[in-house]
Structure 1
Amino acid sequence: MDRPLIAVTTSRRSGWRIFPLVALNVWLAGGRSVRWDTARPPDLDRVDGLIVGGGDDISPDLYGMSVVTSARLDPDRDALEHRLVTGALNRNMPILGICRGSQMLNIALGGTLHQDAYGFFTTSREFRTILPRKRVTLCPGTRLHEIAGNAPMMVNALHSQAVADLGENLRVAALDEGGMIQGIERISDPFALGVQWHPEHLFYASRQRAIFAALVSAARARRQDRSQTAAVDADMDLGATPEDIAPAGATTDRE
């Protein structure tokens, strides 16, 4: 199989342990991965898709605000990922944002963040664990709803910030029980999806692997100069599962 090449951004500090999990999910979905961080000069023209991974909070300087709560920041990574997301969008390249990456997707498109998400959404339950303890609802009519199914989903949660004002051409794709945004997506090409949780840690669940499968499907469509969102929609409309999209031999146990 001709596997699309997906760039994965990581922290220089923790990327060594996060990247293998993301790369595993991309491989199961039919792609292959390369790791990028601030120590590695990136070249968007050599990849087919982009995953912006999780990590430290994003500086409010990027969306015109000042720091209102304590946070661990990485300005060099902020600048790199903002440039990469903007460059990917300009190249019609599909993007998956994971946790921090979802927030960066929103900021790059002109949106803002709640710096203290749980201080604002006081009825949202705060969990800081890689275990699936947080309940989210996928919004009907969204692409994420088509990709991962209509049942409520149990996910993990490690974030302190969350999307506030939506960026251009984005819509809400998932919410938690307190109304905090947990998923966002572009309405049209290029395919771009952001999830506030960490699906790479939940690789045993087919609904989570389907998120990576959708990105790889979009990357393959871009290679073939086809509509990415239409390609992903067609996979879902035809009842495609991760077994259909991923290489033979990949496991697909349900949640």
Structure 2
Amino acid sequence: MSKRKPLIGVTTSRRSGWRIYPLIALNVWLAGGRSTRWVAGRDADIDAVDGIIIGGGDDISPDLYGGRIVTTARLDPDRDALERGMVLAAFERNKPVLGICRGSQMLNIALGGSLHQDAYATYTSSDHIRTILPRKTVCLEPGTRLAGVAGTAPMKVNALHSQAVDRLGRGLRVAARDTGGMIQAIERVSEPFAIGVQWHPEHLFYAHRQMGIFRALVAAAAARRDVTPQLPKVDATM
């Protein structure tokens, strides 16, 4: 097996990615990997990496899932196209994916799912907390891979989103909900490994449970690099 650290491609916004990418890169490094940044309009070679992270940012265009245009939404169609293509290409090549906030939504949409465009209007009992601090409670679904890598107890996370997963995409299941029932995490049930979380674990690098998410991705990427099954490798990190 290769001693080379797995390389993770990380998609970010052209506008704010310079702030977010260093945090994600730190988490990947702490988890035993290395990373490279991708933005729309520049080369992004899926074949050069062992796994991908779809990062957070602006709302996803409703054109991708049959939603309605909201005039207050800030959209980035070029980034939408890059990330949807990267998710599908990753699955075609059996490469693992971690979706963060917007990235979790894109993971769902790429597999044919849809979003609640105003999630808190639908889930009125959900705590509408907008902060990078861990103040929102999510409950992990028993028996999921996320519960395996991050623990089964309720978890305190941050929240910066207004949209959330509605109809699940192909091959996905719910991995966590908040106390109001809103979906907060999804995961793929078969190879390759894929998890999407609605919060921003990169801001919580000091929390052991959040680092478990990045360790799982890096473990899956190492397995892909070595052409071995990913899910058993992830399960061994639990």
| Stretches of structure 1 lacking an aligned partner (at least 5 in a row) | 237-255
The alpha carbon displacement at 1:131 in A equals 0.4
**Equivalent position to 1:154, from 144, 153, 156:** 156
Taking only the aligned residue pairs, the percentage that are identical comes to: 71
Question: Which residue does the alignment assign to 1:234?
Answer: 236
Displacement of 1:68 in angstroms is 4.6
Residue 235 of structure 1 aligns to a residue whose secondary structure is: coil
Letter in 2 for 1:177: T
2:67–2:117 contact (8 Å) kept in structure 1: no
Residue of structure 1 in register with 2:175 after alignment = 173
Of residues 129-138 and 57-66 in structure 1, the stretch that sits farther from structure 2 once superposed is 57-66
Match of 1:197 in 2: 199
Residues 12, 39 of structure 1: 8 Å contact kept: no
Q: Alpha-carbon deviation of 1:69? A: 6.2
Deviation (angstroms), 1:230: 1.4
Deviation track 1:116-150 (CA, whole Å, cap 9, x = no partner) reads 00011001011111000100001000000000001
Separation in 2, partners of 1:58, 1:166: 16
Amino acid across the alignment from 1:194? G
Q: Which moved more, 1:227-236 or 1:105-114?
A: 227-236
Take 1:180 and 1:155, find their aligned partners in 2: how far apart are those partners? 14
Distance 1:162 1:129 in 2: 16
Deviation at 1:66, TM superposition (A): 2.1
Please say if residues 25 and 35 of structure 2, whose CA atoms lie closer than 8 Å, have aligned partners that are also in contact: yes
Q: TM-score, normalised by structure 2?
A: 0.97
Distance 2:99 2:12 in 1: 11
Which residue does 1:246 correspond to in 2? none
The within-5 A match list for 1:1-255 is 1-68=3-70, 70-236=72-238
**Distance of 2:117 and 2:71 partners within structure 1:** 7
Tell me, in whole angstroms, the C-alpha distance in 2 between the residues paired with 1:31 and 1:40: 22
Offset of residue 65 of structure 1: 2.4
What is the distance in 2 between the residues matched to 1:119 and 1:225?
Answer: 45
Contact 1:102 1:196 in 2 (8 A): yes
- 8 Å CA contact 1:69–1:116 kept in 2: the answer is no
Instruction: Please state whether the residue corresponding to 1:207 is helix, strand or coil.
Output: helix
Q: Deviations over 1:195-238 (max 9, x none)?
A: 000000000001001100000000001111111111111222xx
Q: Secondary structure at the match of 2:236?
A: helix
Q: Which runs of 4+ in 1 moved over 2 A?
A: none
Distance apart, 1:15 and its partner CA? 0.5
Q: Distance in 1 between matches of 2:44 and 2:226?
A: 23
State the 1:62 CA deviation.
0.4
Q: For 2:71 and 2:46, locate their aligned partners in 1 and report how far apart those are by CA, in whole Å.
A: 34
Structure 2 residue runs without a partner (length 5+): none
1:2 deviates by 1.9
Q: Where does residue 239 of structure 1 map in the other structure?
A: none
Letter in 2 for 1:96: L
Number of aligned residue pairs: give it. 236
Post-superposition CA distance 1:67-96 (Å, at most 9, x none):
256311111111110111111111100000
TM-score by length of 1: 0.91
- Assess if the C-alpha contact under 8 Å between 2:215 and 2:237 holds in 1: no
Q: Would the aligned equivalents of 1:25 and 1:200 in 2 still touch at CA under 8 Å?
A: yes
Distance across 2 between alignment mates of 1:99 and 1:65: 18
